[in-house]
Structures are given as structure tokens and as C-alpha cells.
Structure 1
Amino acid sequence: MNEHKVVILGAMGAGKSTLVRAVAGGTVVDTDVVNTDASSSKLATTVAMDYADVNLPNGDRLRLYGTPGQQRFSFIWPVLLQGARGVVILADASSPDVVQELQSYLLAVREHAQGVPVVVGVSKFDMAPEVDLDSCQLKVQEIAGRPLPLVPIDARSEQAVMLLMDVLMGEVEAAALVDDHA
């Protein structure tokens, strides 16, 4: 049996908690509280983390950690990234500058989880179809220092979330193969 620790990073409102709930089938430990951040209209926000422990059909375990997105909680990101086998970074396509929003999360991964497989999910793409995914991909690669898969996603769709997780697990398996042959 293998354990896969996956950390979900991204801005407040990008869909991290929704993604964790979709993967876990709704069974999640969360730390949501009333939102007091005036920059967002969300009613509740995560202040420590969301956590789900999922038994996979092949006997493996998936441990999901959804981080709080606000910069004031960035001290927890390196702690949660320790020992991660994979990272999902969610960006809100409807934000004014989706690439700028991604930068702090990409830099945190580059500093604290170098070489860990990462997938970037762009949520709320239906609300901002004008977002140029190709230029976004180039900026993500520039900031990350390596190419990363970029996937448009609706975090409310279990099917879309599972596709994103399949892409991540493919990256995890590819990294393991490379490590085995190094």
C-alpha cells in the first residue's frame, strides 16, 4: 500500500475546499470560519486546512491537504508541503490577474517542494473564457522554472476534479519512474 500526500494551494475562492470535498465524497475535516476579509464576498473561509483521507480502489491511500489561500497564512504552506508526493495549485480565472495570483504559490512550491509533481488547475474558466491559457502556461513555466500541466477545471464537477487528479497522479508516477532509473 502506498500513501500519497497531496497539497492543494491557491487563492481564497479558487475552489480548494470544493475540490477536496469532491475527491473525498464530502467526508472532510475543515477549519472554515466566517470570512472577515473585505476583499472577498465569500461567507466562509479556511483558516488552517481542509483534510481528507481517501482509500483508493487499488489499496493506496490519498491524503489531501487544502491550504488557506490568504497570504497571512502562508507560514503553513511550507509545513504542509513537507513530504508531499504531489501538489495541485488552483487559480481563479475570473480574478483580475490570474498569473499574478499564481506566483506566490508557484514560488512556495519551488522553494519548499522542488521536484515534487505539480498540476495547475484554472477554475471558474467558464466565467472568464477570454483568459489566454497558452500565455498563462508560458508564465507558469517561467515562474516555476519547469513545465507544469495546466488544466481548466470546474471544482464543483466530480468528473473534472477526478481528471485533474488523474493528471497529477500520472505526473507522480512518471516522477517515480525517473527516480527509479536515476
Structure 2
Amino acid sequence: MAEHVILFAGPMGAGKTTAIRSLSEIDVVSTEALNTERHVVDKETTTVGLDYGELTLGPDEKVRLYGAPGQRRFAFMWDVLSQRARGLMLLVNNDAPEPLESTRRFLAQFPALVEAGAVVVGVTRTDVARAPLVHEYARAIAEWHPGRTIPVFTADPRSATHMRTLLMALIANVEAAALVSEQQQEVA
């Protein structure tokens, strides 16, 4: 059985826990605690360790969904969780201050996944804040990471359909990058 480990990362309040709950076929394991930074994001709880869910894509394909905490003080968990990850689903809250800068900072935290072309960006809360637009994210990401294909979508983490679209785009990119790498090794 093929297994994909996908890491959900992004700032607090971007919808990582909600996205995993939308996709998971099992009860999601969460490590939530009271949010002590309600002045930053007004929500009652926040992830302090990880979220975990699972999704079966077919008889031969399972996806393990890991959600990282969004607060910088838990950045050590980003390293731990990214070790097994084959792909990164970066969720960014369009309603937060400086969402493009937040995107840049989070992409910089996962250089191996960015270099492998194993990233997709989901821009959340576009119903609340229309700007920046998706093409502005795509243009900025292309400037920060020339030569890398990082798809950018608007996404509602409450929608299993939206999240599945992002997940399938991510898995397609991961598999395409693996094929290209394999072919390059055969030529060399």
C-alpha cells in the first residue's frame, strides 16, 4: 500500500485543524490547549502539539494527515513533523496581517519540501478578505522560489471537496517530482 504523509502547516487560525477534520476518515487526534494569544487570533483553543487524521484514497493508497501548530513558539514541532512528510499543505489566512509575508516565512521553514516541489498553498478566509488575490500569492512565490511549481488555491478548510482538491494537486506534484527525479537518475 502506498502511503503519503502530508503535513499541514501555516499560521494560527488558518484552518489546519479544521482541514484535517474535513478530510479524515477517523476521529482526529488533537492536542489543543486554551489560546493564550487571543489578541492575535480570536479563537478559544489552539494546537500545541499536533493533529492527526487518516484518509484512504483507494485500495492501495493511504494518506496520513499531520497538522503542525501555527505559533512560532512551537516551531520545534515543525521540524519533528516534517521529517516523514512527503508533502506540505500550507494554509494561509488571507484575513491576517501581512498574509504574503506569512506565506514567505512559512515556506522558508520547509526548504526540503519546497525544493522537492512537494508544496501546495491554500489561501483561506478569502470570503472575509478578498486581497491579496491568488495570482498575487502565485507571483510572489514564483519570485521567492524561481523554477519551483507551487500551486496556489483559494480554500475553505470546512469543505472536504476544497481540501481534497488541494490534497490531490499536492500528491500529483509529489509523484511527478519523484518521476522526474527517477528519470534523471536513469539518464545519469
CA distance in 1: counterparts of 2:45 and 2:150, whole angstroms: 30
Q: Which moved more, 1:141-150 or 1:38-47?
A: 141-150
Gaps of 5+ in 1: none
CA distance in 1: counterparts of 2:153 and 2:113, whole angstroms: 23
Partner-residue secondary structure (3-state), 1:156: coil
CA distance in 1: counterparts of 2:62 and 2:112, whole angstroms: 26
From 160, 165, 182, the equivalent of 1:158 is: 160
AA in 1 matched with 2:28 = V
AA in 2 matched with 1:85 = R
**What is the number of equivalent residue pairs in this alignment?**
182
Partner of 1:43: 44
Partner of 1:148: 150
* Structure 1 ranges of 4+ moved more than 3 A: 111-114
Partner of 2:4: 4
AA in 2 matched with 1:15 = G
AA in 1 matched with 2:108 = L
CA distance in 2: counterparts of 1:31 and 1:106, whole angstroms: 24
Instruction: After superposition, give the CA deviation of every residue in 1:116-174 in whole Å (9 maximum; x if it has no partner).
Output: 51000001111112322222212122334423100100111111111111111111221
Inter-CA distance 112–161: structure 2 relative to 1 (3 Å threshold) = closer
- CA drift at 1:47: 0.1
Partner-residue secondary structure (3-state), 1:127: coil
Partner of 2:62: 61
Task: Determine whether 1:13 maps to 2:35.
Answer: no
Partner of 2:27: 27
Instruction: After superposition, give the CA deviation of every residue in 1:94-137 in whole Å (9 maximum; x if it has no partner).
Output: 11211111122100111576315100000111111232222221
- CA drift at 1:43: 0.3
Inter-CA distance 116–83: structure 2 relative to 1 (3 Å threshold) = farther
AA in 2 matched with 1:165 = L
Alignment root-mean-square deviation, CA: 1.6
- CA drift at 1:61: 1.5
AA in 1 matched with 2:90 = I
Gaps of 5+ in 2: none
Q: Which moved more, 1:145-154 or 1:109-118?
A: 109-118
Q: Determine if contact 2:94/2:126 at 8 Å carries over to the other structure.
A: yes
